[in-house]
A and B are shown apart, each in its own frame.
Chain A
Amino acid sequence: MKKILSIICILFISVAAFAVDIPFTWKFNPTSDMVTSYVIEYARPGTINSNFIAVLTLSGTTNGAIVRNLPLGTYKFRLIAKNGVGSSLPSEEISVPTNAPTIPLEFKITP
């Protein structure tokens, strides 16, 4: 049992050590929107109710960015535009798989 536990710990650290960079693009909002910044938000794997948080804030003159060093997993991303009045509604959400291992199945304590 001790041996198995130590192997699992090693595997976990190894997987956590992997990270990905994810490049995004989008279309500029119409000039009349007077966008001052774009915000990329993401929901972490396993987040209940897709609780999005900001991961990157970019200039309104930017239409591309790379989100770096994300631990492996499947994330949902969306984009929000901001101007002097406030934030837009979010863009459509996109799911980005990052080659994470599949979920262990039949996980249980064996006699």
Chain B
Amino acid sequence: MKKLLSILSLFVLFVCTIRAASVSLAWDPNSETNLAGYVIYYGTASGQYSNSNNVGNVTNTTVSGLLEGVTYYFVATAYDASGLESDPSNEVAYQVPTAFTPINFRITSLVTNNSSVKINFAWTSSTNSIVKIYALKGTNGLLSLTNVNVILAGSYTNLQSATVSNLSNGTWRFKANSLSPSTGITSLLTSEEPTTKILVKPSAPVGFKFINVAP
């Protein structure tokens, strides 16, 4: 057990690549012939690890599903073929980078014609970010990434404004976020939530027929 611990004290955090809020971890191999594998423990408070991954007998792994802006703490343990597990290694900490959330996201104009409405947006975002605009119809409910009934198809690279159209009649709320292609990190949604009412002319009635003719 002590031997495993001493070797795991060499546990090192390597941030090899960061894609979509994940982190790569690596450590030196143990020398025991009956070594069976390693377990990575991690959590958001030092010394408290609410998650674990049994990664098998490897010397590197990637932990994904991490939240932007949150600091995570990691330790590793080794276990042998008989199921004995070492004490944890040294703890390493990693703060997931944040992406730049667009600011001053707003509707600049609304252009209505007979059958559609074009909404012009503007915002400020970092260079080279890919901005996406999300829409939720109605005035109820939190507009979050898990609660949008329309995600506008467009994503706008290197633009500071965009136009969307073909939304049905009703009240619509909008938010935006940005993706940094260099880090793969998606920002939080904007705090701004511009809202507008859309009304276009109705569609042509269908099913129009006479029932009978009674002189």
Contact = CB atoms under 8 A, between A and B. Distances in A.
A67 to B, nearest CB: 9
Interface string A1-34: 0000000000000000011111111110110111
B135 to A, nearest CB: 14
Interface of B: 112, 114, 168-170, 199-215
Given A32-B170, A79-B208, A92-B208, A20 B214 contact: yes
A82 B205 CA distance: 10
A18 B211 CA distance: 19
A89 B203 CA distance: 7
A79 B205 contact: yes
Contacts of B199: 34, 83-85
Interface residues of A, number: 39
Given A80-B205, A85-B199, 18 more contacts: A18-B215, A22-B210, A24-B209, A25-B207, A25-B208, A26-B206, A27-B205, A32-B170, A33-B202, A72-B215, A78-B208, A81-B204, A83-B201, A86-B201, A90-B204, A96-B213, A98-B213, A99-B215
Contacts of B213: 20, 22, 96-99
Interface of A: 18-27, 29-30, 32-35, 38, 72, 77-92, 94, 96-99
B214 A29 contact: no
